[in-house]
């Protein structure tokens, strides 16, 4: 039985009518059309579908959309505010922290969560925090550099 | 996936053989065995229900005796499907009875099990582990029946 | 795709239980849902009803007092436990263990109750909670019962919970002085890989810090459920901490387990590794207890 | 040395803004009006004859618009090198994952439901999973022609003499597994079919035009009736070369329904049925003279083709011979056999067939060094290929800084010191490599072409069909164009790959783009520049030869005061009687040759890259687990166009190479992949990677034929990685691991055997 729920994504309200078996990643991508959130593994291990829910990192591929009702969701599209890149987005550009770009939305959001919890992390803490956000292109070195650069500021 | 087990029964080899050869007697020892149809002296149709926690599986199997050397050696080929999971199963089984003494027999079996379809990828260790357990339950059941009535 | 189901959202444990008794086999409790959704996406499980307990207030808490020890609400996330000051201070080994669960994303969503009820023998928390003598509080239509965690797991993904029962609280008794704990998650591939061996050791020393007054060992990934290594514990109990003792103990623990050869290593390798990890785990716990 | 304004600068990627903001559009992000969702039914068994396919139930599912079986396909055999694949199987299935039927429906759940309702009856056929079993003359046949897909043999130089000269001889077997690309974006396509007869496909591919040719072949269509467009591609690493039928199936569904169809593989489908790295079984024998120089090499490799031939026939030749130009081999014997099995077909993966033989030879170099009493760096220096060499296969080495790379790596690693004072269970290891910059193979053409439009606003638009898959091609080509015309890189744009508008290009493989496409773009810009200079010379009343362009201005050499902007000149070309738009065209085919079939002679590439990798590891003697502590990569890639992106290429390759060395492997049981997901097939996370990684580019020897001296660098990063780690493990605990991956269990077993032997 379909249900009407209200999703708050990037500070905008979206009313969607969905079945309980719908996953958050599919509703965000297919119903709302925010395709920055990617589907990589569909079992919660690759991090491509990472979004922030009430400020916390979650895998939207392992989350019933209904669970997101009434929560504040941030996707990669939400980081670009009034014409300005988020400092992490800027750093990812300047340090070449991505190649194919498919893991990048999740990687940027994970980096954001790491810094919000710990503004001055050690390299080890950064790498541990990125654990489970898979990238096959960069070897992570330049992702770590970008995060360190932002933390250093 | 290879499953090998060994167990001993306090009963003479002929008796164990006869028991195992009689599907209506030994069938119920197979954990989850729901029904056995004897199609001919070499082929049975068997329905086995296995439950892994909240995942319940029902296998419809055809068992063919491919080689028999009474009272010590038996080879069977079991093929079947789990319709709910769109999965197929195939098992080559070899059973050997070694008489340890007049009153004791060692039963050893070796199954090469191939699982295809969804079940095939359900986590090797879980399926293997479950098979191991079922084998032990089977051994228990056989012992109970034969040793009690012995 | 996940096959369709009805989502029921009770507001109280009582209501949840009655829903469960009403629908029996057709229904299952869902909390964070991480593990359950994996089974459902594989179509290994197609429930008609899911009873979400996420909307039930008051199941997310961490309480501690000397008398009752630690009490954790079933819906407390791994992340909350990992970061709890109380737990870091009173049960550091628990904080370490929960820090190792999955990724930050998993820890933000997964709950301690859901983790235990899923009863996958390869999850992190059970070995440590076993070694800490944890109990779980279970509520059903016929009232409550408390179950020792070591009696809770039955088989792969199976617990003693009845279909209409719900785990509401995890209890951990306070540790005596001179107690130290360690958790080792040994994986053969990447750090975040499903472990080949999980070992938790909790050691209590005598007043002179010489004798292993009490040793408790929890193991994971080595049997159809997480287990206590009772024989090994009995052997070590009352002995002095010495290399040759540990050697003997590692032989004993290798015989106590019944692992399955899989992608993470052969049966033999896992048996040998649990021995190695025992030596390391007990040593770490011993050193912490001595501080 | 030449002064550059754009070349050698650490510029961000040109498509970067879209990627960091989530705006980049990958094929799965595209949604067309009235679009249907496709799904594929795959064989659950490794080998069988299709007796009957019942699609009745599936067709009745509400929302299902088409159900295709092999009978609905043209039944044309196709393949990259050997035509042995069908779009959908109609006779036999040959591996678990073989495509049997396909569905298009209004939503994914309807498509999935329909797939589950298709009933296929198979007659099971005997299976073969082991190459040596499959090679036997009496083995059941997987294909009519037999199970040997390819067999090459040669003897070169004075092989017998070399054997006599050898003072030290080593002989070992090495094995490498099937490993998977693990690009984060799974493959997929969206196809639309217009009744005019044109099939348009947005495809996640790295070889746009070759994909179009294959699709046309397999579907029996005219190439001209197919248009391919390349959206953002989420990594390729060789896997997205249209060697499997996703695009064809999607196209057929669109044709059948007359509606747009989107077909995206699930991760599990990718593991089951994409085209992973070929597995090699290598028998290697090498002889050395007293001074450490190589007297002879005798190599045999038996490679696992899987059920069909994708790129494996080419990778297998590479496994056997590419390394023969790393050192000064004079006397060699080689044999390569490619064998069909009932496993997933194997194909191209970064490094092509090169890494397996490097794993073998580079370990044997260390074995020899130890025996002869030479430092591992020294034995390599004594054999290293040098500039001007013509190798045993006739490869002409125009540039080579291999020796410099060895010395540089040793310096950065502090090799001698570290080796002398390493802690217990720690070890250092090294490996050298050679790789190509392009490989002449298709139609005796390995060139590239480009068109560049200089707009009246002074901006450049490049049209090239080579494509961007994350590797940085667009950025590097922009920098080359900007440097050539003397404008800032931001004034250059590249259009997305589109067979209707782009020039013909082979695409991204064999590390060919910087070197080959770079030269083509450079030539195209030079052509446009000529047109601009001709006009400017009239405006400045000077002769074109005296003109220079810099900072987007054109002026007479030495007199920047009277300068015209590029846009002024471009506008002047246009706004006049009989005016013309400035359009430059350029093409470039490298100085390379097709290789002979068996002896594999001929200068296969126009330029060769070399390099040395060194690492420090620590081995846990009780568990066998390896921790890579630090990694040094000193590479000769000629002049580096964009150091930041180049470093990224090597750092990323190391993640794949360390995984290849220590934990990556597709595990098969009864032909079925047992780890078809990222939970069981583990690739390294950030905290699995060594924190200390140093990438250095040895620019002591630029490539004379390369654009501004550049050559290829995409693939080489992982070629020498696994032997470097193997050698470090041996240095740490004294055991040689000859099979990848070098798992803790293998290493521990070897340590025990060594200790037993010692007792």
Q: Give, for D643, the enclosing helix (H) or strand (E).
A: helix D643-662
**Is A132 close to C104, i.e. CB distance below 8 A?**
yes
CA distance D527 to chain B (A): 58
**Rounded distance, CA C135 to CA C148, Å?**
4
pLDDT digits (tens, 9 = 90+) for D272-292: 999 999 999 999 999 999 999
Please, are residues D15 and D82 in contact by the beta-carbon 8 Å criterion?
no
pLDDT digits (tens, 9 = 90+) for D630-670: 999 999 999 999 999 999 999 999 999 999 999 999 999 88
Q: What is the arithmetic mean of pLDDT over D317-338?
A: 97
**Is C263 close to D667, i.e. CB distance below 8 A?**
yes
Residues of A in contact with D683 (CB under 8 A): 134, 136
Residue A137, chain C, CB below 8 Å: the answer is no
Specify the pLDDT at position B120.
Answer: 62
**Is D12 close to A36, i.e. CB distance below 8 A?**
no
Q: What mean pLDDT is reported for chain D?
A: 97
**Is D676 close to B121, i.e. CB distance below 8 A?**
yes
Both tokens of B91, joined, read: 């098992």
Both tokens of A111, joined, read: 């980096």
Considering chain A, tell me which residue range(s) the CATH 3.10.20.30 domain(s) occupy.
3-77
**Counting Cβ atoms within 10 Å, is residue D561 exposed (0-12), middle (13-18) or buried (19+)?**
exposed
Residue A50, chain C, CB below 8 Å: the answer is yes
Report CA-CA distances (Å) from B59 to B15, B37, B56, D130.
29, 14, 10, 30
Among D435, D357, D355, D384, CA closest to D721: D355
Quickly count: other Cβ atoms within 10 Å of residue C141's Cβ.
12
Instruction: Give CB contacts under 8 A, 24+ apart, made by B97-102.
Output: B97/B13, B97/B16, B97/B17, B97/B20, B97/B71, B97/B72, B97/B73, B98/B13, B98/B72, B99/B12, B99/B13, B100/B8, B102/B12
**Is A132 close to D29, i.e. CB distance below 8 A?**
no
Count of domains forming chain B: 1
Q: What is the arithmetic mean of pLDDT over D392-412?
A: 98
pLDDT digits (tens, 9 = 90+) for C197-208: 999 999 999 999
**Is C42 close to B122, i.e. CB distance below 8 A?**
yes
Phi, psi of B114 (to 5 degrees): -115, 125
Specify the pLDDT at position C20.
Answer: 96
Phi, psi of D101 (to 5 degrees): -155, 165
Burial letters for C40-71: b for 16+ Cβ neighbours within 10 Å, e otherwise?
A: bbbbbbebebbbbbbebeebbebebeeeebbb
CA distance D187 to chain B (A): 21
Judge whether residue B149 has pLDDT over 70.
no
Residue C48, chain A, CB below 8 Å: the answer is no
Considering chain A, tell me which residue range(s) the CATH 1.10.150.120 domain(s) occupy.
87-152
**Is A140 close to D18, i.e. CB distance below 8 A?**
no
What DSSP letter does each residue of D670-711 carry, written as one string?
TTEES--STTTS----GGGS-SEEEEEE--SS--TTSGGGB-
Give the CA dihedral D233, D236, D239, D243, nearest 10 degrees: 40
**Is C109 close to A23, i.e. CB distance below 8 A?**
no
Judge whether residue B52 has pLDDT over 90.
no
pLDDT digits (tens, 9 = 90+) for D556-582: 999 999 999 999 999 999 999 999 999
Specify the pLDDT at position B28.
Answer: 85
pLDDT digits (tens, 9 = 90+) for B60-89: 888 999 999 999 999 999 888 887 777 788
Specify the pLDDT at position C291.
Answer: 83
**Rounded distance, CA D213 to CA D59, Å?**
32
Q: What mean pLDDT is reported for chain C?
A: 95
**Is D181 close to A133, i.e. CB distance below 8 A?**
no
3-state secondary structure chain C: CCCCCEEECCCCHHHHHHHHHHHHHHEEEECCCHHHHHHHHCCCCCCCEEEECCCCCCCCCEEEECCCEEEEECCCEHHHHHHCHHHHHHCHHHHHHHHCCCCHHHHHHCEHHHHHHHCCCCCCHHHHHHHCCCEEEEEECCEEEEEEHHHCEEECCEECCCCCCEEEEEEECCCCCCEEEEEEEECCCCCCCCCCEEEEEEEEECCCCCEEEEEEEEEECCCCCCEECHHHHHHHCCCECCHHHHHHHHHHHHHHCCCCCECCECHHHHHHHHHHHHHHHHHHHHHHHHC
Specify the pLDDT at position D731.
Answer: 98
What DSSP letter does each residue of chain A carry, written as one string?
--EEEEEEETTEEEEEEE-TT-BHHHIIIIIS--TTS--SSSSSSS-TTEEEETTEEEEGGGSBGGGGTTSEEE-GGGG-BTTB--HHHHHHHHTT--SS-SSHHHHHHHHHHHHHH-SS--HHHHHHHHTT---SSSTTHHHHHHHHHHHH-
Residue C185, chain D, CB below 8 Å: the answer is no
Phi, psi of D134 (to 5 degrees): -65, -25
**Rounded distance, CA C77 to CA C115, Å?**
10
Omega before residue C166 within 30° of 0, cis? no
Q: Which of A66, A67, A70, A73 to mutate to test the interface with C (most CBs of C within 10 A)?
A: A67
Among all residues of chain A, which has the CA nearest to that of C36? A62
Q: What is the arithmetic mean of pLDDT over C188-195?
A: 95
Please, are residues D511 and D716 in contact by the beta-carbon 8 Å criterion?
yes
**Rounded distance, CA A25 to CA A12, Å?**
17
**Rounded distance, CA D35 to CA D261, Å?**
6
Beta strands D168-176 and D148-156 are unpaired
**Is A47 close to C103, i.e. CB distance below 8 A?**
yes
Q: What count of Cα atoms within 13 Å lies in the side-chain half-sphere of residue B64?
A: 6
pLDDT digits (tens, 9 = 90+) for B109-123: 888 888 777 676 566
**Is D622 close to C276, i.e. CB distance below 8 A?**
yes
Residue C277, chain B, CB below 8 Å: the answer is no
Please, are residues D522 and D586 in contact by the beta-carbon 8 Å criterion?
yes
- In order of their start, the domains of chain C are 6-52 (3.30.43.10), 62-172 (3.30.465.10), 179-290 (3.30.390.50)
Residue D116, chain B, CB below 8 Å: the answer is yes
Quickly count: other Cβ atoms within 10 Å of residue C230's Cβ.
12
Both tokens of A8, joined, read: 């708050």
D-facing residues of C in 29-48 (CB < 8 A) are none
pLDDT in tens, chain A (153 residues): 899 999 999 999 999 999 999 999 999 999 999 999 999 999 999 999 999 999 999 999 999 999 999 999 999 999 999 999 999 999 999 999 999 999 999 999 999 999 999 999 999 999 999 998 999 999 999 999 999 999 987
Report CA-CA distances (Å) from D234 to C86, C107, D469.
44, 28, 6
- Residue B58 belongs to domain with CATH number: 3.30.530.20
- In order of their start, the domains of chain D are 16-23+447-588 (3.30.365.10), 31-125+184-235+240-273 (3.90.1170.50), 279-440+594-758 (3.30.365.10)
Specify the pLDDT at position B130.
Answer: 82
Residues of C in contact with A64 (CB under 8 A): 7, 33, 37
Among all residues of chain C, which has the CA nearest to that of A111? C104
Among all residues of chain A, which has the CA nearest to that of D14? A93
Which CATH superfamily includes the segment(s) A87-152?
A: [2Fe-2S]-binding domain (1.10.150.120)
C-contacting chains (≥3 CB pairs under 8 Å): A, B, D
Burial letters for C142-170: b for 16+ Cβ neighbours within 10 Å, e otherwise?
A: eeeeebebbebbebbbebebeebbbbbbb
pTM of the entire structure? 0.96
Among D17, D15, D12, D142, CA closest to D85: D142
**Quick one: what percent of chain D has pLDDT higher than 70?**
100
**Is D20 close to A131, i.e. CB distance below 8 A?**
no
pLDDT digits (tens, 9 = 90+) for D526-536: 999 999 999 99
Residues of A in contact with C124 (CB under 8 A): none
Specify the pLDDT at position B150.
Answer: 43
**Is A45 close to D678, i.e. CB distance below 8 A?**
yes
B-contacting chains (≥3 CB pairs under 8 Å): C, D
Residues of B in contact with D45 (CB under 8 A): 88, 116
Among D609, D231, D633, CA closest to D402: D609
* CATH architecture for the domain at A3-77: Roll (3.10)
Judge whether residue B41 has pLDDT over 90.
no
pLDDT digits (tens, 9 = 90+) for C254-285: 999 989 888 999 999 999 999 999 999 999 99
Omega before residue D741 within 30° of 0, cis? yes
Residues of D in contact with C1 (CB under 8 A): 108-109, 112
D-contacting chains (≥3 CB pairs under 8 Å): A, B, C
**Is D670 close to B116, i.e. CB distance below 8 A?**
yes
Residue D674, chain B, CB below 8 Å: the answer is yes
Judge whether residue D1 has pLDDT over 60.
no
Report CA-CA distances (Å) from D366 to D265, D381, D386.
43, 13, 20
Q: What is the arithmetic mean of pLDDT over D741-749?
A: 98
Judge whether residue D228 has pLDDT over 70.
yes
Domain, as residue range, for B18: 2-149
Q: What mean pLDDT is reported for chain B?
A: 85
pLDDT digits (tens, 9 = 90+) for D670-723: 899 989 999 999 999 999 999 999 999 999 999 999 999 999 999 999 999 999
How does residue D467 score in pLDDT terms, banded at 50, 70 and 90? very high
Q: What is the arithmetic mean of pLDDT over D497-514?
A: 96
Among all residues of chain D, which has the CA nearest to that of A79? D21
Q: What is the arithmetic mean of pLDDT over D356-383?
A: 98
CA distance B48 to chain D (A): 22
**Rounded distance, CA A88 to CA A96, Å?**
12
Complete edge-to-edge strand list for the sheet that includes strand C6-8: C6-8, C49-52, C27-30
Specify the pLDDT at position C133.
Answer: 98
**Rounded distance, CA D417 to CA C249, Å?**
41
Q: Which of C4, C186, C190 to mutate to test the interface with D (most CBs of D within 10 A)?
A: C190
**Rounded distance, CA D549 to CA D328, Å?**
44
Specify the pLDDT at position B125.
Answer: 72
Q: What is the arithmetic mean of pLDDT over B47-57?
A: 82
Specify the pLDDT at position B121.
Answer: 57
Specify the pLDDT at position B56.
Answer: 80
CA distance D399 to chain C (A): 39
**Is C266 close to D682, i.e. CB distance below 8 A?**
no
Give the CA dihedral A131, A132, A136, A141, nearest 10 degrees: -20
Chain A touches chain D, with at least 3 Cβ pairs below 8 Å, answer yes
Residue C178, chain B, CB below 8 Å: the answer is no
Residue A124, chain C, CB below 8 Å: the answer is no
A-contacting chains (≥3 CB pairs under 8 Å): C, D
Phi, psi of C27 (to 5 degrees): -120, 155
CA distance C253 to chain A (A): 31
**Is C104 close to A1, i.e. CB distance below 8 A?**
no
Among all residues of chain D, which has the CA nearest to that of C280? D622
**Is A139 close to D653, i.e. CB distance below 8 A?**
yes
Among all residues of chain A, which has the CA nearest to that of D468? A100
Both tokens of D310, joined, read: 């994708």
Q: What is the arithmetic mean of pLDDT over C232-237?
A: 98
Both tokens of A34, joined, read: 């925010």
Among all residues of chain B, which has the CA nearest to that of C45? B55
**Is B118 close to C42, i.e. CB distance below 8 A?**
yes
**DSSP three-state, residue D202:** strand
């Amino acid at each position: 039985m379909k249900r009407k729920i209200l999703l708050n994504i990037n500070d905008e309200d979206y009313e969607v009518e969905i079945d309980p078996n719908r996953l958050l990643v599919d509703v965000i991508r297919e119903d709302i059309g925010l395709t920055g959130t990617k589907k990589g593994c569909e079992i919660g291990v690759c991090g491509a579908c990472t979004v922030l829910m009430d400020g916390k990192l979650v895998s939207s591929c392992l989350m019933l959309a209904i669970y997101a009702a009434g929560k504040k969701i941030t996707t990669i599209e939400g980081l670009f505010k009034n014409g300005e890149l988020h400092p992490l987005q800027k750093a990812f550009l300047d340090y070449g922290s991505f190649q194919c770009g498919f893991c990048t939305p999740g990687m940027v959001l994970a980096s954001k969560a790491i810094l919000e919890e710990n503004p001055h992390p050690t390299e080890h803490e950064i790498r541990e925090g990125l654990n489970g956000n898979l990238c096959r292109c960069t070897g992570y070195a330049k992702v770590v550099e970008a995060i360190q650069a932002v933390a250093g500021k | 996936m290879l499953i090998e087990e060994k167990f001993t029964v306090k009963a003479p080899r002929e008796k164990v053989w006869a028991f195992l050869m009689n599907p209506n007697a030994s069938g119920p020892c197979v954990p989850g065995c729901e029904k056995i149809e004897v199609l001919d002296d070499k082929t049975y149709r068997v329905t086995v229900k296995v439950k892994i926690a909240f995942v319940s599986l029902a296998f419809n199997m055809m068992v063919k005796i491919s080689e028999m050397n009474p009272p010590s050696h038996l080879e069977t080929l079991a093929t079947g499907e789990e319709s709910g999971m769109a999965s197929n199963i195939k098992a080559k089984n070899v059973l050997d009875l070694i008489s340890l003494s007049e009153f004791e027999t060692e039963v050893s079996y070796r199954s090469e099990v191939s699982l295809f379809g969804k079940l095939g990828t359900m986590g090797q260790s879980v399926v293997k582990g479950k098979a191991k357990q079922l084998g032990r339950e089977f051994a228990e059941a056989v012992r109970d029946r034969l040793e009690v009535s012995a | 795709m996940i096959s369709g189901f009805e989502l029921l959202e009770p507001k109280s444990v009582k209501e949840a239980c009655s829903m469960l008794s009403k629908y029996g086999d057709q229904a299952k409790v869902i909390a964070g849902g991480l593990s359950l959704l994996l089974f459902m996406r594989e179509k290994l499980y197609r429930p008609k009803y899911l009873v979400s307990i996420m909307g039930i207030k008051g199941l997310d808490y961490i309480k501690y007092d000397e008398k009752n020890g630690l009490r954790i609400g079933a819906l407390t996330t791994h992340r909350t436990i990992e970061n709890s000051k109380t737990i870091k201070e009173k049960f550091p080994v628990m904080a370490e263990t929960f820090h190792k669960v999955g990724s930050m994303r998993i820890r933000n969503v997964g709950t301690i109750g859901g983790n235990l009820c899923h009863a996958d023998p390869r999850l992190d928390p059970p070995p440590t909670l076993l070694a800490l003598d944890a109990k779980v509080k279970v509520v059903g239509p016929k009232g409550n019962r408390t179950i020792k965690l070591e009696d809770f797991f039955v088989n792969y993904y199976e617990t003693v919970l009845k279909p209409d029962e719900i785990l509401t609280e995890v209890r951990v008794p306070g540790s005596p002085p001179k107690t130290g704990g360690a958790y080792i998650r040994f994986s053969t591939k990447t750090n975040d890989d499903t472990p080949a061996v999980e070992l938790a050791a909790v050691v209590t020393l005598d007043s002179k810090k010489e004798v292993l007054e009490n040793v408790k060992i929890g193991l994971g990934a080595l049997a159809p459920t997480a287990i206590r290594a009772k024989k090994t514990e009995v052997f070590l109990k009352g002995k002095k901490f010495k290399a040759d003792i540990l050697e003997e103990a590692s032989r004993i623990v290798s015989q106590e387990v019944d692992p399955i050869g899989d992608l993470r290593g052969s049966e033999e390798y896992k048996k040998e590794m649990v021995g190695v990890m025992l030596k390391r785990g007990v040593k770490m716990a011993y050193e912490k207890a001595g501080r | 040395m030449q002064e550059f304004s754009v070349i050698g600068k650490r510029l961000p990627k040109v498509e970067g803004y879209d990627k960091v903001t989530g705006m980049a559009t990958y094929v799965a992000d595209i949604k067309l009006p009235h679009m249907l969702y496709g799904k594929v039914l795959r064989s659950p068994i490794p080998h069988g004859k299709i007796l009957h396919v019942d699609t009745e139930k599936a067709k009745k599912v509400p929302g299902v618009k088409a159900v295709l079986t092999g009978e609905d396909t043209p039944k044309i055999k196709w393949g990259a090198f050997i035509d042995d694949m069908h779009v959908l199987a109609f006779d036999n299935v040959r591996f678990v994952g073989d495509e049997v039927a396909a569905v298009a429906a209004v939503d994914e759940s309807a498509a999935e439901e329909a797939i589950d309702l298709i009933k296929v009856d198979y007659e099971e056929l005997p299976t073969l999973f082991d190459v040596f079993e499959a090679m036997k003359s009496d083995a059941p046949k997987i294909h009519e022609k037999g199970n040997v897909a390819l067999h090459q043999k040669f003897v070169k130089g004075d092989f017998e003499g070399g054997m006599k000269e050898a003072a030290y001889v080593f002989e070992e077997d090495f094995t490498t597994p099937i490993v998977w690309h693990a690009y984060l974006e799974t493959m997929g396509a969206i196809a639309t079919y217009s009744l005019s007869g044109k099939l348009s496909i947005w495809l996640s591919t790295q070889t746009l035009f070759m994909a179009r040719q294959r699709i046309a072949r397999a579907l029996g269509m005219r190439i001209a009736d197919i248009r391919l467009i390349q959206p953002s591609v989420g990594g390729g690493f060789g896997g997205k070369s249209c060697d499997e039928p996703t695009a064809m199936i999607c196209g057929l569904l669109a044709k059948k329904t007359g509606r747009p169809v989107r077909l995206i593989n699930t991760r599990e489908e990718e593991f089951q049925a994409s085209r992973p790295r070929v597995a090699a079984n290598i028998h290697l024998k090498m002889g050395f003279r007293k001074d450490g120089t190589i007297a002879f090499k005798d190599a045999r490799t038996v490679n696992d083709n899987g059920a069909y031939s994708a790129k494996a026939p080419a990778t297998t030749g590479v496994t056997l011979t590419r390394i023969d130009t790393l050192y000064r081999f004079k006397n060699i014997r080689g044999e390569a056999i490619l064998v069909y099995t009932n496993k997933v077909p194997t194909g191209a993966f970064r490094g092509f067939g090169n890494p397996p033989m490097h794993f073998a030879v580079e370990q044997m170099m260390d074995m020899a060094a130890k025996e002869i009493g030479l430092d591992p760096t020294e034995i390599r220096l004594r054999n290293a290929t040098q500039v001007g060499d013509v190798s045993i296969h006739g490869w002409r080495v125009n540039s080579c800084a291999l020796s410099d790379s060895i010395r540089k790596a040793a310096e950065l690693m502090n090799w001698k010191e570290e080796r002398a004072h390493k802690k217990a269970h720690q070890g250092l290891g090294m490996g050298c490599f050679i790789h190509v910059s392009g490989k002449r193979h298709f139609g005796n053409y390995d060139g590239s072409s480009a068109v560049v439009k200089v707009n009246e606003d002074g901006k450049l638009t490049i049209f090239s069909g080579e494509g961007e898959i994350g590797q940085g091609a667009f950025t590097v080509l922009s920098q080359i164009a900007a440097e050539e015309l003397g404008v800032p890189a931001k004034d250059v744009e590249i259009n997305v790959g589109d067979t209707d508008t782009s020039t013909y290009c082979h695409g991204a493989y064999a590390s060919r783009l910087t070197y080959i496409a770079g030269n083509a773009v450079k030539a195209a810009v030079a052509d446009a520049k000529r047109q601009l200079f001709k006009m400017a010379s009239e405006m400045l009343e000077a002769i074109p030869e005296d003109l220079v362009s810099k900072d987007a201005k054109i002026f007479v050499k030495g007199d920047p005061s009277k300068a015209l902007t590029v846009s002024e000149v471009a506008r002047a070309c246009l706004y006049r009687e009989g005016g013309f738009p400035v359009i430059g065209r350029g093409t470039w085919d490298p100085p390379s040759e097709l290789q002979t079939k068996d002896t594999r002679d001929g200068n296969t590439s126009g330029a060769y890259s070399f390099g040395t990798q060194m690492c420090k590891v620590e081995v846990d003697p009780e568990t066998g687990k390896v921790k890579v502590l630090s990694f040094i990569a000193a590479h000769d890639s000629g002049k580096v166009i964009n150091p930041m992106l180049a470093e990224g290429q090597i750092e990323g390759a190391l993640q794949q190479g360390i995984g290849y060395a220590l934990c990556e492997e597709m595990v098969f049981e009864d032909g079925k992949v047992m780890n078809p997901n990222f939970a069981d097939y583990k690739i390294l996370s950030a905290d699995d990677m060594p924190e200390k990684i140093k990438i250095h580019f040895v620019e002591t020897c630029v490539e004379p034929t390369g654009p501004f001296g550049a050559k290829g660098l995409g693939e080489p990063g992982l070629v020498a990685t696994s032997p470097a780690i193997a050698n470090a493990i041996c240095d740490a605990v004294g055991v040689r691991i000859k099979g990848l991956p070098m798992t803790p269990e293998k290493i521990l077993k070897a340590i025990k055997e060594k200790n037993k032997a010692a007792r």
